[in-house]
Structure 1
Amino acid sequence: MIKYPFFEKNSTIGVTAPSSGVPLDLHNIFKQACRRMEDYGYKVICGDTVWTQDKAKSAIAEKRAIEFNQMMKNDDIDMIIPPWGGELAIEMIHLIDYDHVKEKWILGYSDTSSILLAITLKTGMATAHGTNLLDLRGEFADDTTAMWESVLSTKSEGVITQYSSERYQKEWNHADPSPCVFHLTEETYWKTVSHKKETIQGRLLGGCIDIIRHLIGTPYGDVQAFKEKFIPDEAVIWYLENCDLNTTDLRRSLVQMKLAGWFENCSGILFGRSSANQPVENYMIEDVYNELSEELGIPVVFDIDCGHEPPQITFINGAFAEIEVDEGKGKVIQYFK
């Protein structure tokens, strides 16, 4: 049985940096994000790790873990949102106090996805893959990003529907800030390997494949144990996004996931848009998707709203979902059951 946290207006957001903190020259835009949350009616409590960054991390693993665990146990904090992702959250994965995780949402993506997936797999508590805090600093949020509040305010046994975006951001341009942070210039078009309408049902699991692949073979990536304990006999939909991998590295990672049993009883795989996916020789990203679909005998959907080319749909690890894709448009229905 999956446990779903609940979040409501006037709640308190705890901000800690289990991966990267905010360097000094970006403190102003981080403070802007905190003020924006306060404008929305939330209280914000920032940990010490947020303000420091050195050697590709906010602090040593032990300090990051202590602060994260304290916020998870603190009854005055209703939700945790890291400022953003980073590189080395995996250093503190084993230091999380999984036995005393309280039911509160953790929201983020990129390197944060290792923590999200590990907590859901170990505890059966749903976690939220979506926007990070710094991307909420704009005067307003686009319709897709803004759904994070509605999704996380959905009560247990409730249902929430999200739709594919109209446009997405192809490149980051911090030198030219826009009122909604993202520069949404490109038309969104969800694609299927079959080139046909696809409907997929199952429990959602996923994250940044560059990151979560490193949980394979560890106690924090035991997908089989999670399925047996929390969702017996149910199919899984994997949603994956690629930050840095070329096509052969992505292929190796997917084969590793398959050999580790992560794709057993899988009903479909969703891939986010990516500026990575660079071809090796003439091995194209479409070849990767086609091979995976053929090998597993399941639908593969790609270029969805997930990952480093925002905006992002808020995907809930552990939620039951129905995914519908037709003529470039997508619909994600999540059931908190």
Structure 2
Amino acid sequence: MIRYPHLKEGITIGVTAPSYGVKAEYHDRLKQAGNRLKEQGYRMEFGETIWTQNKAKSAPAHVRAAEFNEMMTGEHVDMVFPPWGGELLIEILEFLDFDHFKEKWILGYSDISLLLLAVTLCTGIATAHGTNLVDLRGEFSDPTTAKWKEVLSTRMGKSVLQHSSEKYQREWSRDEPSACIFHLTESTSWKIVSGSKVNIKGRLLGGCIDVIRHLIGTPYGNVGEFQKNYIHGEPIIWFLENCELNTADLRRTLVHMKLAGWFDHCSGLLFGRSSANQSVDGYSAEDVYAELAEELKLPVLYDIDCGHVPPQMTLINGAQAVVEVSENQGTVLQFFSP
């Protein structure tokens, strides 16, 4: 069965950096985000790893793992919220104390999604793919981003509904501060490979495809065992987002996932908006999606609110979901079912 943490008012949020830390010139951003959450009644506990960054990591793997383990197994922290993603989170997996993790939300995306997926697959504890901590430093959040609190406050046996955003951010404008951090200027349009309407039901799993693909063939990426032991054969809805892959690498990765059995007993795939997806010899992302839909005989959606082109929904690894799209607008209804 899936176990769901529960976000309560006044909890202590632990901030650790299992991937990238924060360089000195950006410490103010991190402090500002922490202060915003304090204003909302949360207590903040900052780990040591968040303040350092060198050679593509916040600290050596065993140091990052030890701090994360302490937050996940101890009583002093109720939720773990990394500042942002990075590159080398995979280094810490072999040092994690999965057997002793308590039911606590872990929230993030990008490189953090590798940790989220591994924790859910190995423990049955639901994890939350959504906003980064540093992106909550604004005076307010857009409605899609702000939904993270309601989603994580959902109790076992209850459900929570999210709608596609009205607008998304075409490109990052970090030198032009906004009251809500993001500059949402482009009209959101969820797309379907074929047809104008779709309804998909299943258990959500996913993350940044650049990094979660590296779980294939490891003890931390056994999707078949997860499906048998934790969700009793229910179909999976994969949500995937591409940070840096060109279309040929995206295609190779999806074929790898298929051959590894990750798409067995799958009911559909959702792809987030991407500023990557560079075409190779005229081979586009839309070509990749169409080929996948034909091969798997499954619905494939794309340009959903997920990933590195904000804003993004808060999607729960392990939750039951009904995903509906009609006239390029979508909803995701998540059930916190065991």
Scaled by the length of structure 1, the TM-score of the pair is 0.99
Give the match's secondary structure for 2:145: coil
Partner of 2:314: 314
Encode CA deviations 1:191-249: one digit per residue, 9 max, x unaligned: 00013200000000000000000000000000001011011221000000000000000
1:134-283 pair list within 5 angstroms: 134-283=134-283
Encode CA deviations 1:31-86: one digit per residue, 9 max, x unaligned: 10011110111110000000000000000000000000000112121100000000
Letter in 1 for 2:247: T
Quote how far apart the aligned CAs of 1:93 are.
1.0
d(CA) in 2 for partners of 1:268, 1:281: 28
Encode CA deviations 1:303-337: one digit per residue, 9 max, x unaligned: 00000000010000000000000111010000000
Letter in 2 for 1:202: G
What residue ranges of structure 2 are gaps of 5+ in the alignment? none
1:59-208 pair list within 5 angstroms: 59-208=59-208
Quote how far apart the aligned CAs of 1:167 are.
0.3
What residue ranges of structure 1 are gaps of 5+ in the alignment? none
d(CA) in 2 for partners of 1:288, 1:24: 41
Give the match's secondary structure for 1:214: helix
d(CA) in 2 for partners of 1:245, 1:162: 28
Partner of 1:53: 53
Give the match's secondary structure for 1:110: coil
After the TM superposition, which of the residue ranges 5-14 and 200-209 deviates more from structure 2?
Answer: 5-14
Which aligned runs of 4 or more in structure 1 are off by greater than 4 angstroms? none
Quote how far apart the aligned CAs of 1:138 are.
0.4
Give the match's secondary structure for 1:286: helix
Give the match's secondary structure for 2:72: helix
d(CA) in 2 for partners of 1:146, 1:212: 25
d(CA) in 1 for partners of 2:186, 2:241: 18
Scaled by the length of structure 2, the TM-score of the pair is 0.99
Letter in 2 for 1:156: M
1:11-22 pair list within 5 angstroms: 11-22=11-22
Give the match's secondary structure for 2:27: helix
d(CA) in 1 for partners of 2:277, 2:26: 29
Partner of 1:3: 3
d(CA) in 2 for partners of 1:242, 1:234: 26
RMSD: 0.5
Give the match's secondary structure for 1:203: strand
Letter in 2 for 1:146: A
d(CA) in 2 for partners of 1:72, 1:307: 25
d(CA) in 1 for partners of 2:310, 2:195: 23
Give the match's secondary structure for 2:115: helix
